Structure 1
Amino acid sequence: MTISDTDILFLGECVRQAAQAEIMPRFRNLGAADVSEKTSATDLVTQADLLAEHRITAALKERFPAALIVGEEAYDADKSVVPALADAELAFVIDPVDGTFNFAAGLPVFGTMLAVTVRGETVAGIIHDPVLGDTVTAIKGAGAFLTRQDGQSSKLKVAEPAALNQMVGGMSWGHMDEPDRSRTCANMAKARMTFAFNCSAYEYWMVASGKLHFIGHSKLMPWDHLAGVLAHQEAGGHTAKFDGTPYRPGEISGGIISAPDRESWQTIRREIIGH
């Protein structure tokens, strides 16, 4: 199974249409009944998440009727879809509103992410910013590009390697358990500057475009990472799980770090994550 250039254009259009029709009309316009807690007060779902995922899913099913479709919100109803990514002939992984806490708070730092996997390998990824209309598109072996709302396109490239005390990065220690949580948070003081966007879409865009040197996460749900990891790799970066192995579709544990190159990755693994 292969994905054509025409398919990629179709996927980008699916995501943009969902953003225009379901996400942006609800931004800073949500009523109390439009927001629900999932596992905690910082893990939310809104009507925008549900309706955007539903719209993208319907479009994908019509064009690719045999494909496995894994949506963040649909996963709550059927947990078996994530392990199935490991060997599905063709699968699409959707995060309709990545950064839902930000979206619900009225903070314009959120995005829509869509990844395409073929037999356990990510072959394409899309990260769309509904507010600015910008889209990152990554195709395995063909690079990662940022396309502005006006159509201007530029190739993405990761930051040049630097000493840790000159690096700018982010590490999502909030999902870690103690003692890893406190140790990792304290170790981030070794970097020059640290950011926490609470939004994988923004983090991967920033690290793939060289605005950040590194990012890291302990929680590996596929809709948060597949598209972004491919974009980072296609921009020349090195991403691996905490144990040094490649990150693959279907895996949900083990932690992950994205850095400019293997040596930088090893420095961050040693100095930030530690044990």
Structure 2
Amino acid sequence: MIEETETIEEFLAERSSDVEEAVRKAAAAEIMPRFRRLAEHEVDQKSGPHDLVTDADRLAERYLTDTLADLLPGSLVVGEEAVHADPAVYDAIGADVPVWIVDPVDGTRQFVHGDPGFCTLVALTLRGAVLASWTYAPAQDRLATAVRGRGARLDGRPLRSGSPEPGRALEVAHSHPDYTTDEQKRALRGLRTDGLAPRPCGSAGLEYLAVASGALDATAFTWEAAWDHAAGLLLVEEAGGTQLTRTGEPFRLTGGNALPFTAARDAATARRVIEALAAG
């Protein structure tokens, strides 16, 4: 277990650069050598043709699982591919010990198609609360980090979401209707209204980064998988943004949320999106 003299805050102050190095090394060793070079046998389907996994996903997650657990003794790792193999792994997110949440390749579909719009997501959590996050887009060599209470950074520079310019339609990236229930489809249709400009989302992690940097006004997501949301939600919040579920409550990593939910550049934008979803 973690030594009493080493709190998580001390770990983050002293070892954050080691986490960054681990993320970069995982991408350099297991992801980028396969980018635009994937062989047919390196790509598989999970639940269907739109739910892909590659050798890069599996091997990068294995690398990060081993490295992150060693960096913080006593911590657990919840990775997307580990949960696919054993859904019970997901239950660790609410544990009383530090938990790393890992998405080795967020945007696997883009990765498979040779599109640089994918990233690696890592979040450090305790009892379901996100304490720090790392969002790395290796094909673009961009790294965003956030530490709760200490702000967000992109490539070392402070990151602020700001507020949308008045008088223009708010751009909202949303889940593709093909991956939603009938009720969620109705909610998403509410975004097709004056003052909003909805579009299908790409990599969730990069959409969160776009919100945190002010390049996108908001998201509207219909699924709860913690590996897609943990890193980005903290990034948005530490950049000055906010997030809400359809019932006006914060999103819970442990699940049971009222979906869809939003992450937005500011509170007014979040409320506007939730109102539109409720009217759908």
Contact 1:95/1:113 (<8 A) preserved? yes
DSSP 3-state at the match of 2:25: helix
How far residue 164 of structure 1 moved from its aligned partner, in angstroms, is: 8.2
Match of 2:95 in 1: 87
Distance in 1 of aligned mates of 2:257 and 2:54: 26
Q: More displaced, 223-232 or 191-200?
A: 191-200
2:78, 2:92 within 8 Å by CA — same for their partners in 1? no
Deviations 1:145-188 (A, max 9, x none): 001xxxxx221111414568521121114332114315514633
TM-score, normalisation: structure 2: 0.90
Give 1:266 deviation, angstroms. Answer: 1.6
Q: Match for 1:21 among 13, 29, 48?
A: 29
Distance across 2 between alignment mates of 1:39 and 1:163: 42
1:130 is displaced (CA, Å) by 0.7
* CA apart distance, 1:121: 1.3
Report Cα offsets for 1:57-110 as digits up to 9, x if no partner.
Answer: 111122223111000000012222323212332000000000000100111100
**Count, aligned residues:** 270
Q: How does 1:126-205 map to 2 (within 5 A)?
A: 126-147=134-155, 153-161=156-164, 166-174=169-177, 175-182=179-186, 184-185=188-189, 187-188=191-192, 190-191=194-195, 193-205=197-209
Which amino acid in the other structure matches residue 112 of structure 2? A
2:4 aligns to what?
none
Query: Is the 2:246–2:277 contact (alpha carbons within 8 Å) kept by the matching residues of 1?
Result: no
2:271 to 239, 249, 266: 266
The answer to whether structure 1 residue 234 and structure 2 residue 242 are counterparts is no
TM-score, normalised with respect to structure 1: 0.91
Deviations 1:97-150 (A, max 9, x none): 000001001111000000000232110000001112110000000000001xxx
Give the whole-Å Cα distance in 2 for the aligned partners of 1:262 and 1:4.
28
Q: Give the letter for the 1:46 counterpart.
A: T
Residue 211 of structure 1: aligned partner: 215
Unaligned runs of 5+ in 1: 148-152
Deviation at 1:7, TM superposition (A): 2.0
Query: Which deviates more, 160-169 or 95-104?
Result: 160-169
CA positional deviation for 1:263: 2.5
Q: Give the percent of matched residue pairs that are identical in Structure 1 and Structure 2.
A: 32
CA contact (8 A) 2:190 2:279 kept: no
Structure 2 residue runs without a partner (length 5+): 1-6
